[in-house]
């Protein structure tokens, strides 16, 4: 299936965007340290009956890397403007990792636009969960490390490839990320400015937490599906989402780490398709 890339300017920042298929729109938002390519095997399945839009988030992948800001409210505004330019109307929204935080922020800010919300492997800042819900093999230390001012740059710069590959090894599950995918991710994450932006995503944590606490005071009412990997965030994804949404169901995929759409793409595509269809019935 031909996946068409476009560069679409939102708020002066060009977002690399893949658009394919026809039908009710589904927007896919990736996390760190991946790109739109995280969804490459899910897109053809969904595109049989949907228009699928998969952008690289601001500063990541092949999108522009402005100096900032990188809080999730700003990133959500980018995607809202993107959907307006594409004249999508209402759409289903799927987010992985930081893309899940962006998706949640977008759903909260534009409640008339988002019909279904799917969150894959994200724990929202400001929405605490019992630690024992997360697999013991998942390296939660990286959040605090990446958020510390100056120290990560001192330790990572010049060793970016080692840092990324260590992270992927620690966070993937029973099915490792393919060498082809790692090559594609390294192509963008080793580019100038990529380390700065990646750390900025973590350093907006306090702002993102306050945003989620505000949402929790008026929880989302749309159908919400939380997907976790049993070797990563597992049932904690659902527990986190229950802070900000009232209609949440959860699925934990066996033999799976932090990248369900890469490790089990057919299962994830089926879950998304079935959820959209069932919730709309």
Q: Could you list the active site residues?
A: 97, 202, 258
Q: In the block, which residue shows the tokens 């636009």?
A: 113
DSSP the chain: ---EEEEEEETTEEEEEEEEE-SS-EEEE--TT--GGGGTTTHHHHTTTSEEEEEPPTTSTTS---S----HHHHHHHHHHHHHHTT--SEEEEEETHHHHHHHHHHHH-TTTEEEEEEES---TT----GGGS-TTS-THHHHHHHSSSHHHHHHTT-HHHHHHHHHHHH--SSPPPHHHHHHHHHHHTSTTHHHHHHHHHHTHHHHHHHHHHHHHS-B-S-EEEEEETTTTTTHHHHHHTTTBSSEEEEEETT--S-HHHHSHHHHHHHHHHHHHHHH-
Q: At 180, list the tokens.
A: 């082809």
């Amino acid at each position: 299936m031909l996946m068409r890339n476009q560069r679409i300017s939102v708020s002066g920042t060009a977002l690399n965007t893949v658009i394919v298929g026809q039908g009710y729109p589904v927007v896919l938002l990736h996390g760190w340290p991946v790109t739109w390519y995280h969804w490459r095997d899910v897109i053809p399945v969904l595109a049989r009956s949907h228009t699928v839009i998969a952008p690289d988030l601001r500063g990541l992948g092949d999108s522009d890397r402005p100096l900032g800001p990188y809080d999730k409210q700003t990133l959500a505004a980018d995607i809202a403007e993107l959907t307006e330019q594409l004249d999508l109307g209402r759409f289903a929204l799927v987010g992985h990792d930081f893309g899940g935080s962006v998706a949640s922020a977008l759903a909260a800010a534009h409640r008339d636009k988002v019909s279904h919300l799917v969150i894959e492997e994200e724990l929202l800042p400001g929405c605490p969960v019992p630690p024992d819900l997360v697999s013991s093999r998942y390296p939660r230390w990286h959040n605090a490390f990446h958020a510390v001012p100056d120290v990560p740059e001192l330790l990572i710069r010049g060793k970016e490839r080692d840092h990324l590959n260590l992270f992927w090894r620690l966070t993937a599950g029973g099915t490792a990320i393919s060498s082809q995918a790692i090559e594609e991710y390294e192509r963008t994450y080793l580019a100038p400015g990529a380390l700065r932006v990646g750390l900025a995503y973590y350093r907006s944590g306090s702002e993102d937490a306050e945003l989620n606490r505000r949402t929790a005071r008026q929880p989302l009412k749309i159908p919400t599906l939380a997907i976790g990997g049993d070797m990563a965030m597992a049932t904690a994804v659902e527990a986190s989402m229950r802070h900000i949404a009232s209609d949440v169901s959860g699925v934990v995929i066996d033999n799976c780490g932090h990248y369900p759409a890469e490790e089990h793409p057919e299962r994830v595509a089926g879950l998304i398709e079935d959820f959209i269809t069932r919730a709309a019935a």
